[in-house]
Chain A
């Protein structure tokens, strides 16, 4: 356990050294937040209460999305490129010899990265959004705690998805195609472009039960206090369920890969 704690702290510190990149990222998220806010204002002006959100809810949703992009890996988990590269070059053989579990190792490092991104890239865009627009704020202080739990679970689901994607590189070597497809899924089905509850009919129903809903839609709805009591536990159970299933799948892929696949250049 202590080992993985150290790995997580390392993940945090490592990303904390890229201060310029963090500042650049915050700037970009803020610019996108402004552009999206205006498009949402135009949309909600025409259709108030669209998707059960009022204007302030919709604007809060925009800025939560911008804050969580890197935290919950909506457009890439932030670690899969490195892992795929290690698989492609054969460096993974060294990792497999270590007296630590590969998946848990990367999970810890990613948890550290995620925590840093929340502080470094999550807080500032949301604060800017709250100052520039009239966004909905939670009415109860405890909602913030509930929101943080939902973010942590969302980040775990995101890790599980991207870890599976990375594992595919054992068979495909060049993981770019799968990464692109996963990116596509994340972009659209996380609800980053448009809230999932605005998606019409069957498309919306499917989108809301896919794992990507855990990464933005659920944390945003927890923040907007759409879940109460058992509902909140249900939302957490949905996230936990997907995290468990996908982590197990990742573990299975990992054990298949290490047993069958010849490591390159070893």
Chain B
């Protein structure tokens, strides 16, 4: 309902909305243009072909886009904690998380999802993969679980804002940064970094591990092969932990009283 309100308010300025939707698509597309430019100069990156990198890009980008569409507004919550306007949400008879997520709901973020899907479809068309039933099933599971993991990171980051109101950018380094990281093959990064996103902040489960299985590649950093299938479990655990963090945050919230 709150999201609906924001959609209506955006639609008041139709020309501006069309422009933002387009530029939101274009901003993320320029991101991909960089990969195109890179492959204009080289044949492969870290032993991966263009189609394979595009596949990584498409899966990470779509998952991130979906998470950003639903939870992207959480970033601005620090401001609401600072100025005390979060109180308004606490008084309404609806879950606070849903209200904050729908706060300034920006439909233009659909541009990001569209762009991710566009590259993913492109990659699937040019990719040379022997598809099996398992791989076909694994693809949508990857995107959905990836979105859930990203969303969980966003909620966990927003929970931290109850204590550290100015630190919204730290979450960006895991969400936007994670998205950028996962667009490239794990072979080009330092192995400690790869281990970090497997065992510490499990971003590798967003797309790397299942996508490498689909591409018929070895999992990085000595991760066992069956790890490609545990994304749903990892996503569930992440969401559970993020939920706990959120509740702890709400309980710790003290209004500014202004």
Q: Interface-forming stretch among A157-165, A178-186, A240-248?
A: A178-186
User: Which residue of A has the minimal Cβ distance to B168?
Assistant: A24
How would residues 132 to 151 of chain B score, 1 for a CB under 8 Å from any chain A CB and 0 otherwise?
00000000000000000000
A residues less than 8 Å from B50 (CB atoms): none
Task: Flag if B42 contacts A173 (CB, 8 Å).
Answer: no
Task: Flag if A181 contacts B19 (CB, 8 Å).
Answer: yes
Q: Interface-forming stretch among B87-95, B123-131, B184-192, B208-216?
A: B184-192
How would residues 130 to 152 of chain A score, 1 for a CB under 8 Å from any chain B CB and 0 otherwise?
00000000000000000000000
Task: Flag if B165 contacts A177 (CB, 8 Å).
Answer: no
Task: From the candidates B26, B42, B165, B166, name the one contacting A47 in the complex (CB within 8 A).
Answer: B42
Q: Interface-forming stretch among A37-45, A108-116, A229-237?
A: A37-45
Q: Confirm or deny: A238 has a beta carbon within 8 angstroms of a beta carbon on chain B.
A: no
Task: From the candidates B20, B31, B177, B181, name the one contacting A28 in the complex (CB within 8 A).
Answer: B177
Q: Confirm or deny: B230 has a beta carbon within 8 angstroms of a beta carbon on chain A.
A: no
Q: Confirm or deny: B1 has a beta carbon within 8 angstroms of a beta carbon on chain A.
A: no
Task: Flag if A35 contacts B23 (CB, 8 Å).
Answer: no
A248 to B123, CA, bound (A): 46
The number of chain A residues with a CB under 8 A from chain B is 39
Task: Flag if B16 contacts A174 (CB, 8 Å).
Answer: yes
A residues less than 8 Å from B165 (CB atoms): 20
* Chain B residues touching A, range: 35 or more
B residues less than 8 Å from A23 (CB atoms): 167
Task: Flag if B37 contacts A198 (CB, 8 Å).
Answer: yes
Q: Confirm or deny: B24 has a beta carbon within 8 angstroms of a beta carbon on chain A.
A: yes
Task: Flag if A38 contacts B188 (CB, 8 Å).
Answer: yes
Task: Flag if A43 contacts B42 (CB, 8 Å).
Answer: yes
Q: Confirm or deny: B38 has a beta carbon within 8 angstroms of a beta carbon on chain A.
A: yes
Task: Flag if B23 contacts A20 (CB, 8 Å).
Answer: no
B residues less than 8 Å from A38 (CB atoms): 184, 188-190, 193
Task: Flag if B169 contacts A27 (CB, 8 Å).
Answer: yes
A residues less than 8 Å from B45 (CB atoms): 39, 42-43, 46
Q: Confirm or deny: A25 has a beta carbon within 8 angstroms of a beta carbon on chain B.
A: yes
Q: Confirm or deny: B7 has a beta carbon within 8 angstroms of a beta carbon on chain A.
A: no
A residues less than 8 Å from B172 (CB atoms): 28
Task: From the candidates B23, B30, B37, B168, name the one contacting A200 in the complex (CB within 8 A).
Answer: B37
Task: Flag if B166 contacts A21 (CB, 8 Å).
Answer: yes
A-B contact pairs, 6 of them (CB 8 A): A19-B166, A35-B177, A47-B41, A172-B13, A174-B13, A198-B41
